[in-house]
Structure 1
Amino acid sequence: MQVLQWIVNLGASVFLPILLFLFGLALRIKPGKAFKSALTIGIGFIGLNLVINLLTTSLGPATKSMISNYGLHLSSIDVGWPAASAIAYGTALGAMAIPVGVGTNIILLILGLTKTLDVDIWNYWHVAFAGSILYTLTGNMWLGLATMVVVTMFTYFFADLSAPTVGKYYGLEGISFPHGLSAPGYVFALPFNWLFDRIPGINKIHLDAETIQKRLGVFGDTTVIGAIIGLIIGFLAQQPLNKVLNLAVSMAAVMMLMPRMVSLLMEGLTPISEGANDMIKKHFPGRKLYIGMDSALAIGQGSVLSSALLLVPITLLLAIVLPGNKVLPFGDLATIPFFIALFAAVFKGDIFRTVIAGTVDIAISLYVASWAAPLITKLAKAASFNMGGNNSISALSDGGLWTNFIYLMMGEKFQWLGVGVLFIVALGLLFWLNKVRDKQENVAA
């Protein structure tokens, strides 16, 4: 446990490159090439974290000003995913998520029940989060571990299901996103897409980043859009002019720098992805596998970023007007691109559809995060997490995730029966997707 915790504490930007370097060597990639590839991925993650930190530190003061100016009284502060991941891995059960996740992945690959070879080890914190909360609630370690297995299985189902769309829209062939926050968004967006296609007038609207830029000229450029949204947020927060202008430039910087950091990740990933594909063709002829990676590869896309920035003020407005909401959005405002990364893929980059569906998703997340606040607060205390003087904390990301609501409700109310039912459902979905549907598609071909 201590060794695992030490590895986790290195952070994704360190231990993921180490893991990918070793993976590259196992794929018979030349050591120098594998090292440069892994190091580039680490640099990309550091750059991405710097940009996200810029977004967080820029939005933070504006958010606090809005709270003060409009007299908001919301009892739980959204501490964001960095704090949530630290809490998840900081519990007695948290670090076990990594061996549980890796073991489940290997078993499912051997059985042919998933196509995702998950190298995104850091993001097993999403698995740790749900399992640790249930363990804290029930005191049953084995039930917590079983929940981790179930969460992992559903995550691979979402990843396998969405991988063809991810590959086609983002140009990431052979990649899937077994990301606990982003992957369920694919299933959430599908019924909205079906509905939008059948509403007269709405089905004719298509506003992607390229279309907006073509119609509006310089004012349609994603960087300029970022600056405009920064100005609007700054004025709503009633900040001094110098701070408003700084926020506008910071938002523009995020829009410009985020895609460039993502391109570094993709540059580093390409040799490893190609090596994995060569190995699969050689040793598993006729079998298709996806390399499971962080959905950070998608958040630099123009439609994702534009929609995310539009959703920031919408999220704050929802927190104010929704009756019964107790969560003040803060830490996870910068995480909104991860919420909608797969929305944009389903909607083919349509910003209008992404913002509408994203608004509904965030409204649900606020209610789920309000429900989960006592559980997350209890988990934080169990992990000896410093809550910064707050009596109640939550996280809009995993704390507000609709799938976590299902996992925890089933586990808390019905315990082994509930987790058992979820296991059977996950197993059935994986079998249908990777056995039955593939067989049907092969016959059709």
Structure 2
Amino acid sequence: MQIIYNIFNVILDAGAVVMLPIIITIVGLIFQVKLSKAFRSGLTIGIGFAGINLVINMLKSNLDPAAQAMVENFGIKLDILDVGWGAIAAVTWSSPIIAILIFCILATNIIMLALKATDTLDVDIWNYHHMAIVGIMVYFVTKNVALGIAATVVMAIVTFKMSDWTAPLVEEYFGIPGVSLPTMSALSSIVIAAPLNWILDRIPGINKIDFEIKDAQKYLGFFGEPTMMGLILGCIIGVLAKYNLASILSLGVNMAAVMVLIPKMTSLFMEGLMPISEAAKNFTQKKFKGRKFLIGLDAAVVVGNPDVITTSLIVIPMTILMAAVLPGNRVLPFADLAVVTFRVALVVAVTRGNLFKNIIMGLVCTGAILLAGTATAPVLTELALSVGLDLGEGLITSFAATSLTVSFLVYKAFISNLYISVPLLVLVVGGTWMVMSRINKKKAEMAAQGEQA
């Protein structure tokens, strides 16, 4: 048992790039794919994922300093520092109960699959930390291990169900079939985006505004192409950061490069995924009478969409300005500004790329993150200090952990008045399910009509 545990830790320490090919190979074997073919698919997916991560890191390494310079230039003075999701993930994996919580998440996924309560087979073990941190925070506050486990299990159930509900969006908008995204840093925005999109569609005048990137290409010609949009928006951010001309142009070219490179890396990822996806489809049709399984992957596979990148490049500077004027906010956006792409990815899919809606809904989502981050910063700071992570004086937060809307609601449900918090959680998740069901039903009807035509 100890040997297995040590091997698991070695693979986990190696990160998702090593873990993903191994897990995909195992999944392929389960779905009766030949070992050589399964391993080739797993390795190709791992290479594609490594490529996506390289480009995302390039995006972050260029955007982070620019965003931080904008914060300083705008003169925003707030007392809770956004230290980034990486620091919070380190806190999560350092918790004394993390091994128990990881096992509980995995067991919850297996039980839900067996009971047909979910179709998502979550192989994205690294991002289990999004579910685990809520249980760790609850345990830290209540000193009750059972409550911590229960909070994590609830997070897992909500995550897998939301992954199922949003899988049709992933297939229809991003063109990735047989995949769901059990990454709460992306999923959480849906509880705001889905109902808000429904409301905006019913406001006269507003519901007529539909501006997409392809419209920019139509009206702006050469300047509306994704590469040019990346160049222009990158240069604008460089100007707001008060860079010199050389740095402005460098940032612009790097953003243009992101627009070109991520779709190419995604296509490589898809090349490896398709044999596994097809085998899973055939296997489930044969063994489970048509039931489908969705392979749960990191949301990194969709953040390279040009609409997602464009939306995030607009929302980032607006979030910095909003932080200064949002009543009740004390969070200084900083390290996590570059991962706004994850927070808006499914927002873009819900609106089908409507840039006007993307900006409004993206800002509402980041505003909610700022307020939840403000509310939970004291406990998160104490937790970080308790595991030996010293991040200097003052309070800390990030755009992850219990700053995410769903995570915040589950956390509050376990530490607050249950008669208020639990019905609120049920209302929010249930409302999201109703809206997503309508969206998916409408898409299915449109697809059926298209086939008949």
TM-score above 0.5, yes or no? yes
Instruction: Kindly provide the CA deviation profile for residues 225-259 of structure 1, in whole angstroms up to 9, marking residues without a partner as x.
Output: 12111211111121222222211112222222222
- What's the CA shift for 1:405? 1.6
Number of aligned positions between the proteins: 436
| Preserved contact between residue 31 and residue 280 of structure 2 (Cα < 8 Å) | yes
In 2, distance between residues paired with 1:324 and 1:148?
28
| Preserved contact between residue 130 and residue 400 of structure 2 (Cα < 8 Å) | no
- What's the CA shift for 1:44? 2.0
Task: Give the structure 2 partner of residue 406 of structure 1.
Answer: 409
Give the alignment partner of residue 164 of structure 1, picking from 155, 168, 177. 168
Q: Secondary structure at the match of 1:285?
A: coil
Q: Secondary structure at the match of 1:182?
A: helix
Give the alignment partner of residue 21 of structure 1, picking from 3, 19, 25. 25
- What's the CA shift for 1:70? 3.4
| Preserved contact between residue 96 and residue 128 of structure 1 (Cα < 8 Å) | no
In 2, distance between residues paired with 1:429 and 1:109?
21
**Structure 2 residue 81 is matched with structure 1 residue 77:** yes
Amino acid at match of 2:277: S
Task: Give the structure 2 partner of residue 105 of structure 1.
Answer: 109
CA separation of 1:241 and 1:390: change in aligned 2, threshold 3 A: farther
Give the alignment partner of residue 394 of structure 1, picking from 394, 397, 400. 397
Task: Give the structure 2 partner of residue 256 of structure 1.
Answer: 260
| Preserved contact between residue 76 and residue 373 of structure 1 (Cα < 8 Å) | yes
In 2, distance between residues paired with 1:261 and 1:91?
34
In 2, distance between residues paired with 1:48 and 1:376?
30
Unaligned runs of 5+ in 1: none
Q: Indicate the larger mover: 391-400 or 153-162.
A: 391-400
Q: Secondary structure at the match of 2:185?
A: coil
CA separation of 1:7 and 1:417: change in aligned 2, threshold 3 A: farther
Instruction: Kindly provide the CA deviation profile for residues 40-76 of structure 1, in whole angstroms up to 9, marking residues without a partner as x.
Output: 2222222222222222221222233233333322222
Task: Give the structure 2 partner of residue 271 of structure 1.
Answer: 275
Please show how residues 195-274 of structure 1 align to structure 2 within 5 Å. Answer: 195-274=199-278
CA separation of 1:308 and 1:66: change in aligned 2, threshold 3 A: closer
Give the alignment partner of residue 293 of structure 2, picking from 289, 293, 300. 289
**Structure 2 residue 127 is matched with structure 1 residue 133:** no
Unaligned runs of 5+ in 2: 449-453
In 2, distance between residues paired with 1:411 and 1:88?
18
CA separation of 1:157 and 1:429: change in aligned 2, threshold 3 A: farther
In 1, distance between residues paired with 2:430 and 2:240?
49
Task: Give the structure 2 partner of residue 146 of structure 1.
Answer: 150
Task: Give the structure 2 partner of residue 193 of structure 1.
Answer: 197
Instruction: Kindly provide the CA deviation profile for residues 82-135 of structure 1, in whole angstroms up to 9, marking residues without a partner as x.
Output: 222222122112233322111101111111211222222221111111111111
CA separation of 1:80 and 1:50: change in aligned 2, threshold 3 A: same
In 2, distance between residues paired with 1:93 and 1:429?
31
In 2, distance between residues paired with 1:151 and 1:72?
34
In 2, distance between residues paired with 1:312 and 1:83?
20
In 1, distance between residues paired with 2:317 and 2:56?
17
- What's the CA shift for 1:173? 2.5
**Structure 2 residue 353 is matched with structure 1 residue 349:** yes
Please show how residues 321-332 of structure 1 align to structure 2 within 5 Å. Answer: 321-332=325-336
Amino acid at match of 2:399: L
CA separation of 1:120 and 1:406: change in aligned 2, threshold 3 A: same
Amino acid at match of 2:406: T
CA separation of 1:345 and 1:428: change in aligned 2, threshold 3 A: closer
| Preserved contact between residue 93 and residue 128 of structure 1 (Cα < 8 Å) | no
CA separation of 1:345 and 1:63: change in aligned 2, threshold 3 A: closer
In 1, distance between residues paired with 2:69 and 2:302?
31
In 2, distance between residues paired with 1:403 and 1:33?
38
**Structure 2 residue 44 is matched with structure 1 residue 56:** no
Q: Secondary structure at the match of 1:181?
A: helix
In 2, distance between residues paired with 1:353 and 1:423?
26
Q: Which runs of 4+ in 1 moved over 4 A?
A: 414-430
In 2, distance between residues paired with 1:128 and 1:418?
20
In 2, distance between residues paired with 1:180 and 1:246?
33
Instruction: Kindly provide the CA deviation profile for residues 357-377 of structure 1, in whole angstroms up to 9, marking residues without a partner as x.
Output: 111111111111111211221
CA separation of 1:143 and 1:207: change in aligned 2, threshold 3 A: same
Amino acid at match of 2:330: K
Give the alignment partner of residue 155 of structure 1, picking from 155, 159, 162. 159
| Preserved contact between residue 181 and residue 297 of structure 2 (Cα < 8 Å) | yes
In 2, distance between residues paired with 1:86 and 1:276?
34
- What's the CA shift for 1:330? 1.9
Instruction: Kindly provide the CA deviation profile for residues 331-389 of structure 1, in whole angstroms up to 9, marking residues without a partner as x.
Output: 221211211111111111111111111111111111111112112212222332242x3
Q: Secondary structure at the match of 2:75?
A: coil
CA separation of 1:49 and 1:416: change in aligned 2, threshold 3 A: farther
TM (norm. structure 1) is 0.90
- What's the CA shift for 1:423? 9.0
Give the alignment partner of residue 366 of structure 2, picking from 362, 367, 378. 362
Q: Secondary structure at the match of 2:353?
A: coil
Q: What is the Cα-based RMSD across aligned positions, in Å?
A: 2.9
Instruction: Kindly provide the CA deviation profile for residues 252-295 of structure 1, in whole angstroms up to 9, marking residues without a partner as x.
Output: 22222222222222222111111111111111013233222222
Q: Indicate the larger mover: 302-311 or 3-12.
A: 3-12
Task: Give % identity.
Answer: 43
- What's the CA shift for 1:5? 4.2
- What's the CA shift for 1:429? 9.9
